[in-house]
Homo-oligomer: A and B are copies of this chain.
Amino acid sequence: MAEKEEQVVRNKQVILNKYVEGFPKEEDMLVTSSASIKLKVPDGYGGILVKNLYLSCDAYQRILMTHIPNSAAVFGFYNIGSPLFGYGVAQVLDSGHPEFKQGDLVWGVTTWEEYSLLPTPENLVKILHTDVPLSSYAGILGMPGLTAYAGFYKVCNPKKGEKVFISAASSAVGQLVGQFAKLSGCYVVGSTGSKEKVELLKGKLGFDDAFNYKEEQDLEATLKRYFPQGIDIYFDNVGGKTLEAVLLNMRQFGRIAICGMVSQYNLDEQEGVKNLMQLVSGRIRMEGFNVIDHLPKYSEYLEYVLPYIRQGKIVSVEDIAQGLDSAPSGLVGLFTGRNVGKQLIHLSEPH
């Protein structure tokens, strides 16, 4: 194995090229092959070396691309000239950590490059069930899945028969919340950005109804049409004007889980949201949450969701692009709604 220790390979990376203003553009990132990496953990290193298999493109990454210190960032920021980071699926090539060995499959936060040295593998989750596609661990069995589960079941506290509205409903998280809500006996309507996605929601994903928000002039009236008795639960992925219209359509004692506010990420200044007085008259709870607080519930979530996946009762729509070269456009595409379902970048198959 002596010669393998010396093996140094090119390590293609996606680095931040400049801080982003407004909508992100592909040129804000740079795909470079200038770095190389030794395929062995350094002596005494307590972390692991992985080969990245799938990378996940997520809207929250936009927040990390802005140079203005922004307290909305809970993950830190990207640095110019350094690779982006985000959730992904990887395979261990070499390990300096007693709990990880060569060949292990993991999911968690990795960097946007072919090979990564990850110093704190304790934060990764080992993949134990491989009868489901590996890409699932960047989607339904990974961060988006746990986000949907924790946000819907732990924050929204749903009851059978309640009326649920989901924005960005065909997104990685939205499509799962909708399916969880249907399995819980709720009535579910989603908003999304194209006719094709409306059909996806009403067809394959089993939503009771769905609409294309781009075709609606008066969102308050639209929601009144879909929810004549009001909304019990709003799973908010977008914030802004949609939240404002939802507030006027909430039922008493309703709950709003705020998962993200993608409508605000590309603005210089956040929009003001009117109608917050509805919180008082309606005794409404509005709560932000972050999946990282819910990681201890991951095994509970697997127990819940794996049987449904195996029985085909929950499906996951993925939009998989091939290779690191397609990663910048994959990420940028989230903000124009080009992706249909969970946007992933496939880099490699496991050995």
Residues of A within 8 A of B (CB): 71-74, 239, 243-244, 248, 258-261, 264, 269-290, 293
User: Using Cβ atoms and an 8 Å threshold, which residues of chain B touch A239?
Assistant: 276-277
The reply to whether B277 and A264 contact each other, CB–CB distance below 8 Å, is: yes
A57 CA to B269 CA in the complex, in Å? 39
Q: How many copies does the complex hold?
A: 2
Question: Which residue of B is nearest A286, CB measured?
Answer: B286
A281 CA to B272 CA in the complex, in Å? 17
The reply to whether A280 and B272 contact each other, CB–CB distance below 8 Å, is: no
Can you list 27 A-B pairs with a CB-CB distance of less than 8 A? A71-B248, A71-B281, A72-B277, A72-B281, A239-B277, A258-B279, A259-B280, A261-B276, A261-B277, A270-B274, A271-B272, A271-B274, A272-B273, A272-B274, A273-B273, A273-B274, A279-B287, A280-B289, A281-B288, A281-B290, A282-B288, A283-B293, A284-B288, A285-B286, A285-B287, A286-B286, A287-B287
Question: Which residue of B is nearest A155, CB measured?
Answer: B285
A280 CA to B236 CA in the complex, in Å? 10
Question: 9 smallest A-B Cβ distances: which pairs?
Answer: A272-B272, A279-B288, A280-B288, A72-B281, A285-B287, A270-B274, A72-B277, A286-B286, A272-B274
The reply to whether A276 and B258 contact each other, CB–CB distance below 8 Å, is: yes
User: Using Cβ atoms and an 8 Å threshold, which residues of chain B touch A244?
Assistant: 272
A206 CA to B179 CA in the complex, in Å? 52
User: Using Cβ atoms and an 8 Å threshold, which residues of chain B touch A243?
Assistant: 276
User: Assuming A72-B280, A281-B288, A284-B287, what are 4 further A-B pairs, CB within 8 angstroms?
Assistant: A72-B281, A271-B272, A280-B290, A285-B288
Contact A286:B280 (CB < 8 A) given known A271-B274, A272-B274: no
The reply to whether A258 and B280 contact each other, CB–CB distance below 8 Å, is: yes
Looking at the assembled complex, report how far the CB atom of A24 sits from the nearest CB atom of chain B, in whole angstroms: 17
Question: Which residue of B is nearest A71, CB measured?
Answer: B281
A286 CA to B254 CA in the complex, in Å? 12
User: Using Cβ atoms and an 8 Å threshold, which residues of chain B touch A285?
Assistant: 285-288
Question: Which residue of B is nearest A272, CB measured?
Answer: B272
Looking at the assembled complex, report how far the CB atom of A263 sits from the nearest CB atom of chain B, in whole angstroms: 10
User: Using Cβ atoms and an 8 Å threshold, which residues of chain B touch A282?
Assistant: 288
User: Using Cβ atoms and an 8 Å threshold, which residues of chain B touch A275?
Assistant: 270
User: Using Cβ atoms and an 8 Å threshold, which residues of chain B touch A278?
Assistant: 71-72, 288
The reply to whether B276 and A270 contact each other, CB–CB distance below 8 Å, is: yes
A281 CA to B290 CA in the complex, in Å? 7
A293 CA to B284 CA in the complex, in Å? 13
